[in-house]
Amino acid sequence: MMRIGIDIGGTTVKAALIDDARAVLARCTRPTRANEVLENSLNELHSCIEELVAAAHEAVAGIGVGVPGAVDYRNGIVNEPPNMSAWGRVPLAEILHSRWGCAVAVDNDANCAALGEAGFGAGRGRTSFLGLTLGTGVGSGIIIDGRIYHGERGFAGEFGHMTIELNGALCNCGNRGCIEAYAGIEHLLRHAIPVLRSEPACSLHRLALDAPESLTPRDIGEAASAGDEVCSNILRTVGTYLGVAIASAANLLDITTFIIGGGIAAAGAPLFGGVSDSARERVLNVHRDALCILPAQLGNDAGMLGAALLVP
């Protein structure tokens, strides 16, 4: 059975054709055109699918799509995805089904990324885990017994908005002390830049003074890998915060595997060290030895590959 998995991002549509053996037979990308008119976006989407259908040796049995924001996954309806102004409430499953005739499923992109890691990446062989994507925000998808856990209305997995500090940093959601307000890229850099500026010995000192807007978590990660202590400590601290929320989630859910991907995760060892030490220290005794913090394996392909698995 052939499936197509599609990840619709704010700027790019990524898609792949996948067979039953979970081999990727073809790939395709298009611009999303998310801020033009919906028709332009849909045309790119159809063109992408057309290319993959043509590459398939047999009929495509299903198309799965991951989209940012709130998705009515039961009915395949996208609801005003953030940073995609041309998209309002779009019955995407219906649109794709009526054009392509096959089964279509739509879900949130963080859920798809977690499902991708479950089927193709770091989550293989694990029945339950929480998949984190550290980007602008802290996204997550919860896999329970091999399937996406959606919650009552499909909004589950907002790990980024677990409070770790009662009167802590202000989060974009309006709450104080959300883990996203410590581990999201924007907040990470906001904390890091004054530190880098105040440390003349740090290898990113000049960059932080002259062109702070160009700094990325990867820069900090690379500096840390090259032995920069200041950068190591910044990442370790972010990891420590993440570990607090991970311990809370592990205690609540009795889930002990956490798979971390996304831009900040690329910062590497000090971050993972901080996460692991902090989570292990804080979690209930009964979970300590079982706790397993893994880097994601699929990078930007996770959402696209997971989307292909949405189709039953």
Q: Residues 231, 223: contact at Cβ < 8 Å?
A: yes
Is residue 133 involved in binding a copy of itself (CB under 8 A)? Answer: no
CA–CA distance, 273 with 296 (Å, rounded to integer): 15
Q: What single letter denotes the amino acid at residue 27? A: R
Two tokens at 182? 């410590």
Strands 12-18 and 2-8: antiparallel
- Between the alpha carbon of residue 230 and those of residues 95, 205, 220, the distances in Å are 51, 10, 9
Binding-site member from 59, 80, 155, 299 for a copy of itself (CB under 8 A): 155
Q: How far is the CB of 179 from a copy of itself (least distance, A)?
A: 9
Is residue 59 involved in binding a copy of itself (CB under 8 A)? Answer: no
Q: How far is the CB of 155 from a copy of itself (least distance, A)?
A: 4
Q: Which is nearer to a copy of itself, 43 or 127 (CB)?
A: 127
Is residue 168 involved in binding a copy of itself (CB under 8 A)? Answer: yes
Residues in region 91-110 near a copy of itself by CB under 8 A: none
Is residue 1 involved in binding a copy of itself (CB under 8 A)? Answer: no
Per DSSP, the residues of 64-103 read: EEEESS-EETTTTEEE--TT-TT-SEE-HHHHHHHHH-SE
Give CA torsion, residues 161, 162, 164, 167, to 10 deg. Answer: 60
Of the ranges 96-104, 113-121, 185-193, 250-258, which one interacts with a copy of itself (CB under 8 A)?
A: 250-258
Of the ranges 24-32, 105-113, 251-259, 268-276, which one interacts with a copy of itself (CB under 8 A)?
A: 251-259
β-partners of residue 5 are 16, 64
CA–CA distance, 182 with 83 (Å, rounded to integer): 22
Q: How far is the CB of 132 from a copy of itself (least distance, A)?
A: 12
Q: Which is nearer to a copy of itself, 10 or 151 (CB)?
A: 151
Q: Residues 31, 13: contact at Cβ < 8 Å?
A: yes
Of the ranges 6-14, 103-111, 163-171, 227-235, which one interacts with a copy of itself (CB under 8 A)?
A: 163-171
Is residue 71 involved in binding a copy of itself (CB under 8 A)? Answer: no
The residues binding a copy of itself (CB under 8 A) are 70, 127-128, 142, 149-159, 161-166, 168, 173-176, 241, 244-245, 247-249, 251-256, 281-287, 290
